Amino acid sequence: MKYIKLFENKWTETSWSDNGSKVNIEEVIKYLDKNNIPERDVNMEKITPIIIDGVYSDTEKEKVDKSDLNYPIIVLVKDGKYKSILDGNHRAMKASYNKHKTIKVRELDLDSENIPKVYKDIFESNPVNYSNVNKAHFYDLDMILTSDSRCWIVDKTKPNIPIMKISQSEFNLIKNGIYKSQNNKIDFGGKSYYLPVDMLELLKIKCKNLKANVSNLGFSMQEFLNKEIIDNIDYSINIDNILHLKNTNDDIYFICSKNNKRNYETMIKKVEDKLKENGLIIKNYYFISETFYNRNEDQIAHKKVRLLLQHLIGLKTDGDKFTDEEIEKYDEVYFYDDDISTINLAINCNKLMQLLLSNTEPGIKSRIKDTLKSKDNLLFVNMVTPNKVNRFKTTKVNLEWSSLIKSFEKFNWKK
Nearest in space to 309 (alpha carbons), one of 364, 359, 368: 368
Average pLDDT for residues 75-89, to the nearest whole number?
Answer: 88
- Cα distance between residue 288 and residue 309, in whole Å: 15
Cα–Cα distance measured from residue 215 to residue 20, given in angstroms and rounded to the nearest whole number: 85
Q: What is the pLDDT of residues 334-354, one digit of tens each?
A: 999 998 999 999 999 999 999
Strand-pair partners of 108: 76
Residues 6+ apart with CB under 8 A from 210: 155, 161, 163
Top-ranked range on mean pLDDT: pick from 4-18, 148-162, 249-263: 148-162
Q: Which residues contact 58 (CB under 8 A, 6 or more apart)?
A: none
- Which amino acid belongs to residue 321? K
Lowest-pLDDT range of 121-135, 293-307, 326-340: 121-135
pLDDT at 6 over 50: no
pLDDT at residue 1, rounded to an integer: 38
Euclidean distance between CA atoms 157 and 348, whole angstroms: 47
Cα separations (Å) of 46 from 51, 92, 95, 235, 387? 10, 11, 12, 27, 18
The H or E element containing residue 108 is strand 102-109
Provide mean pLDDT across the span 265-281.
83
Confidence of residue 5 (pLDDT cuts 50, 70, 90): very low
Q: Identify the CA nearest to 385 among candidates 170, 168, 143.
A: 143
Report yes or no: 399 and 353 within 8 Å, Cβ to Cβ: yes
Please state the separation of Cα 169 from the chain's center in Å: 22
* Largest CA-CA distance found in the chain, in angstroms, rounded: 86
CA distance linking residue 361 with residue 363, whole number of Å: 6
Distance, in Å, from the CA atom of 341 to the CA atom of 282, rounded to the nearest integer, reads 26
Q: Is 316 exposed, middle or buried (0-12, 13-18, 19+ CB in 10 A)?
A: middle
Evaluated on CA atoms 239, 241, 244, 245, the torsion sign reads: negative
Mean pLDDT of 175-189: 82
Single out the residue of 413, 180, 383 nearest to residue 306, CA to CA. Answer: 413
Can you name the residues that pair with 42 across neighbouring β-strands? Answer: 103
Provide the phi-psi class of 380: left if phi over 0, else alpha when psi is between -120 and 50, else beta.
beta
pLDDT of 58 higher than 80: no
Write out pLDDT tens, residues 251-264.
Answer: 999 998 766 666 67
Q: What are phi and psi of 33, to 5 degrees?
A: -65, -45
Average pLDDT over the chain, rounded to whole? 83
Q: If DSSP codes are grouped into helix, strand and coil, which group holds residue 214?
A: helix
List residues bridging with 40 in a β-sheet.
105
Predicted confidence band at 176 (pLDDT cuts at 50, 70, 90)? confident
Task: Judge if pTM exceeds 0.75.
Answer: no
Report which DSSP code applies to 216.
Answer: G
319-333 confidence digits (pLDDT tens)? 899 999 999 999 899
The DSSP result for 392-404, as a single string, is EEEEEEE--GGGG
Q: How confident is the model at residue 4 (pLDDT cuts 50, 70, 90)?
A: very low
What is the rounded CA–CA span in Å between residue 283 and residue 285? Answer: 7
**pLDDT over 60 at 293, yes or no:** no
pLDDT of residue 8: 39
Q: What kind and span of H or E run contains 105?
A: strand 102-109
Instruction: Tell me which of 173 and 57 has the higher pLDDT.
Output: 173
User: What is the average per-residue pLDDT within 264-271?
Assistant: 78
